[in-house]
A and B are shown apart, each in its own frame.
Chain A
Amino acid sequence: MLDDFLVRGVLAGLGVALAAGPLGCFIVWRRMAYFGDATSHAALLGVALALALSVPVFASVLAVALLLAVAVSQLAARGFPVDTLLGVFAHGGLAIGLVVVALMGGVRVDLMAILLGDILAVTRSDLAVIWGGAVLVIALLAWRWSGLLTATLNADLAQASGIDPRREQLILTLALALVVAVALKVVGALLISAMLIVPAATVRPFATSPEWMAVLAALAGMASALAGLALSYQLDAPAGPTIVAVATGAFAVAAAAASRRD
């Protein structure tokens, strides 16, 4: 069954959506959308470095994403506004990554695949990395769920309950870096944060508790991945953008339904 590239593509899409949905809820709740953007754009720099240094792409992207998070929090502590920092890092990472890739003239790099994903080229070992990463992210969120929620609600409230909000922030950063690293192949560097934010935003009007919202976001993301892949196959359109387009369509329908209900 795994010999079929379509089946592998579907499984890859489902794996990414499963992890991105619940994590995306935290990104939305904490207003970290630009953080997700910066991390995923900087992933291109990770790919470029992996090619230049001949190290595995997954490890390189993970390292760059974590370095970015550390750099942003260090500079923010020195008084730089966070949105400015994220703007600098998002586009700086993208630009430097593009330059490095272009300079590696000898290596044939499919730039479009990095930027937009290449879900139908997912191999068995890619699939193992994607599902391994997805399960790790879900396990991380489930393990720290209560602390993450409390710290997201109010840092002082968490601190008084014996929860270190900085540690919870670090765990979210780690989970974000993992999702970016596993999603790169599926939706590409430009569209990863859409997989985080769009499903969470879509299900918000129908969720009555944080747990429900996380489950619904995972389901909405997975449904978008399935429908998007099917549509891209029909239209012969690139898979990653089609998945995000379908997810955005679902958001529009959900928002309309919610405003009609109120």
Chain B
Amino acid sequence: MPLIEAKDLSVSRGGRPVLRHVDLAVERGEIVTIVGPNGSGKSTLLQALIGALKPDEGRVTRVPGLRIGYVPQSLHIDATMPMPVGRFLRLPHAHDALSRTRAMSTVGLEPDVEAQQMTALSGGQFQRVLLARAILMEPDLLVLDEATRGLDQPGTAAFYKIVEEVRQALDCGVLMVSHDLHVVMSASDRVICLNGHVCCHGTPETVASAPEYRALFGFGTQGTLALYRHAHDHVHDDDHSHDPRGGCE
């Protein structure tokens, strides 16, 4: 039984359909990455999965008692709120100092960072603290929404290496939205290409064997644009059936 499963999920926002008939499931121990152009409904899909949005159609089924560790796309801490790292790690549940230190060292932060204010952290440190908090919840499912936004390439690579280690250590499922396509290829078990509906899915190899993706190799950072162009260019047919093995159409 998958940790979390969305069946025939449709969500609209402000009267505009954002997601149409999306199917998705994450098993324990696998890393699933959602890619797609801006406005393709990636964040909406995550919000529907964590229960922050009610779907118009379809449903989300979770394993009973599923613990979700969520790392949001961005977290704005109001300047009026004092929030030291150590306190943030204990939201909403208390954790003892030893497990906090362990979680901090897992994400590569020194224990003394706990005394610093969240607003004083660098971008990389901030994202690591968000991840440490998610780990402390001992999640069955780790949900990362563009968690490396604003990080440079080495920082991004280091961040996803940590995610991989956490998956090993906790044997949790990982569902992430990412713009970093090299990470999609190296660290994911499955890739889902979203553009309002699931237009392409499968193992990274399946996706990589698509001509559009081949064109992507060797173009460096322009490859990102190439994949998005593929997602934009073709005419979507809502009623088409998906090849169970996946693939890009």
Q: Which residues of A are in contact with B by a Cβ distance under 8 Å?
A: 28-31, 146-147, 149-150, 152-161, 163, 200-201, 204, 207-213
Contact = CB atoms under 8 A, between A and B. Distances in A.
A208 B75 contact: no
A81 to B, nearest CB: 15
Most chain B CB within 10 A, of A156, A158, A208, A212, is at: A156
Interface in B65-115: 68-70, 72, 75-78, 80-84, 87-88, 91-93
A208 B84 contact: yes
A207 B82 contact: yes
A210 B93 CA distance: 15
A161 B92 contact: yes
Given A159-B51, A161-B70, A209 B87 contact: yes
B82 to A, nearest CB: 5
Contacts of A152: 81
Given A153-B77, A154-B72, A157-B75, A210 B50 contact: no
Interface residues of B, number: 25
B92 A158 contact: yes
Nearest to B52: A159
A156 B77 contact: no
Contacts of A149: 91-92
Contacts of A30: 78
The 5 lowest CB-CB distance pairs between A and B, nearest first, are: A160-B70, A159-B52, A146-B92, A150-B92, A160-B50
A147 B50 contact: no
B70 A146 contact: no
A159 B84 CA distance: 22
B207 interface: no
B248 interface: no
A256 B200 CA distance: 59
Contact of A156 (B52, B83, B88): B52
B137 interface: yes
A126 to B, nearest CB: 32
A201 to B, nearest CB: 8
A160 B4 CA distance: 13
A210 B81 contact: yes
Contacts of B78: 29-31
B47 interface: yes
A132 to B, nearest CB: 29
21 contacts: A29-B80, A29-B81, A147-B92, A149-B92, A153-B91, A156-B50, A156-B52, A156-B70, A157-B70, A157-B72, A158-B92, A160-B51, A160-B52, A160-B68, A161-B68, A161-B70, A161-B92, A204-B80, A209-B84, A210-B82, A210-B83
B83 A153 contact: yes
